[in-house]
Structure 1
Amino acid sequence: MKIVNIHAAKTQLSRLIADVLAGEEVVISKAGTPLVRLVPIAAAAGPRQLGVLAGSVTESPDCWDADPQMETLFYYGDVEPAAAARVAEPVPAPQADGFDS
């Protein structure tokens, strides 16, 4: 593991990146305290495979049957919420100079 301070990391960034890509672990520190670790980004695994769960997900035979309780709430429940009381906003008092701000 290579430990470098921030100033050295700024001046040697290209070399440090090459070291990380070669498999070496690089830690950047400040005043001897490790702060961050440089790591390579993992290569993408390729496009996602579709249909991974095909055949493993099943639904119960009655999953599409009507639910009387839900239909009652949907069709006969309160359509609108209770009306909210409107409160008038106070009108600002005119200024002494006659100009509105």
Structure 2
Amino acid sequence: MEHVKVQYAKTHLSALLALVERGQEVIISRGSTPVAKLVPFEQHRERELGFVDYTVPSEFFDALPEGELQAWERQG
């Protein structure tokens, strides 16, 4: 883990980012007090759709009963 002061971080940001890209962490301190940590960014993978084992029953596509259909139309 690399420890640097704020002024060094300001003037050498590209080099510090290169370290982070290689997997290192960089602590930035103001005086002797740590104030920030540069860490590699974790890319989130897209989740595959269909991760739940569920199928829609065929009745889902049946027409609504007239009373229920009217209730939905009144709410809109």
> Percent same amino acid at aligned positions?
30
The residue that corresponds to 2:70 in the other structure is 72
Give the number of equivalent residue pairs.
74
Aligned residues of 2:9 and 2:28 also touching (Cα < 8 A): yes
Q: CA deviation at 1:68?
A: 4.2
TM-score, normalization by structure 2: 0.60
Please give the root-mean-square deviation of Cα atoms over the aligned residues, in Å.
3.3
* 1:6-32 superposed Cα distances (whole Å, 9 cap, x missing partner): 111012223222222233210112233
Report which of the two has the higher share of strand: 2
Structure 2 stretches of 5 or more lacking a match?
Answer: none
Aligned residues of 2:27 and 2:36 also touching (Cα < 8 A): yes
Structure exhibiting the larger radius of gyration computed from Cα positions: 1
Structure 1 stretches of 5 or more lacking a match?
Answer: 80-101
TM-score, normalization by structure 1: 0.50
The residue that corresponds to 2:2 in the other structure is 2
Kindly indicate whether structure 1 or structure 2 has the higher relative contact order, using CA contacts under 8 Å at least 6 residues apart: 2
Report which of the two has the higher share of helix: 2
